[in-house]
Amino acid sequence: MRCLGRVGCLLLVLVLVAALWLTRDKWLHYLPGSHQKATVEQVWEPLSPAAAARGQQAIESLSNGRGPVFASLKGAELASYVFLRAGVSLPEASDSAQAAVIDSALYVRAIVPMKAVAASGALGPLGGLLNDREPLTLAGTFHVIRPGLSVFQVRQVKLRDFSVPSKLIPRLIQQIDRSPRPAGVPADAIVVKTPTALVDVRMANHRITLYRTAPGGSTP
């Protein structure tokens, strides 16, 4: 009888496992790891002139003293504004540009031609390991340097599966942003002119919040 009981329990376990496997589409996405992966995949959005226009409108709305004290943007809206409206450009013939806010950083990725960048020596020995076109990912923070001047400060760069050494990031940024660099701008940052009303930037929950007064109502 004890043996039969064990066999019965084993059969019950097998039936439960089979049932869970057959219905996995209904419950698998509730697992923490699966949910996080799906969320990250969904926040990537393409850079576009329309997104740049929305980003510019939101940023300029801060100059309206009677308007809201903050503006909320998606990662693609801010990145589109930076790379399509603010005089900064990814290498010519880049495509598939996308952006996302992940954790507290802005990520921008695109497929870029590497010949010109590698020939400039900006990538050091890494340039010799790359194909003609490679996926490039920039990750960093967007913050205000002083009224009227903000930066997208690049903290991490990946080319294909290679992490670019931090000491090479300023040289790579020089290939992307050739505009004059005002005093106080870090060497690893892309310069972005913004309204003097913008005083603070926060990134969280896949959004970027721009403030014309510091959170809490104070001004700097």
Q: What is the pLDDT of residues 42-79, one digit of tens each?
A: 589 999 999 999 999 999 999 887 778 999 999 999 99
Residue 99 has pLDDT above 80, yes or no: yes
Confidence at residue 38, expressed as pLDDT on a 0 to 100 scale: 40
Residue 9 domain flag: no
Percent of the chain at pLDDT exceeding 90 = 35
Give me the pLDDT at residue 10, please: 53
Mean pLDDT of 12-27: 54
13 or 129: whose pLDDT is higher?
129
Residue 30 pLDDT:
53
Residue 22: inside a domain, yes or no? Answer: no
**40 or 30: which leads in pLDDT:** 30
Per-residue pLDDT, 179:
78
- Percentage of the chain beyond pLDDT 70 is 66
Higher pLDDT, 190 or 35: 190
Average pLDDT, the chain: 78
Does the residue 103 lie in any domain? yes
Give a yes or no: residue 28 inside a domain: no
Q: Is residue 15 part of a domain?
A: no
Give 45: exposed, middle or buried? Use CB within 10 Å, 0-12, 13-18, 19+.
middle
Structural domain count, the chain = 1
What whole-number distance in Å separates Cα of residue 95 and Cα of residue 109? 9
- The phi, psi pair for 195, rounded to 5°, reads -60, 145
Residues 114-122 have a mean pLDDT of 64
What residues form DSSP beta bridges with 140?
106, 154
- Who wins on pLDDT, 113 or 14? 113
In a domain, 220, yes or no: no
- Rounded mean pLDDT of 182-193? 90
Encode 46-62: b = buried (16+ Cβ within 10 Å), e = exposed. Answer: ebeeebbebbbebbebb
The answer to whether residue 219 sits within a structural domain is no
Whether residue 12 is contained in a domain is answered as no
**Average pLDDT score over residue span 196-201:** 92
Domain, as residue range, for 195: 42-211
Q: How confident is the model at residue 28 (pLDDT cuts 50, 70, 90)?
A: low
Provide the pLDDT for residue 202.
Answer: 94
Q: Are 212 and 70 in contact (CB under 8 A)?
A: yes
With 50 as the cut, is the pLDDT of residue 34 above it? no
Residue 72: predicted pLDDT: 93
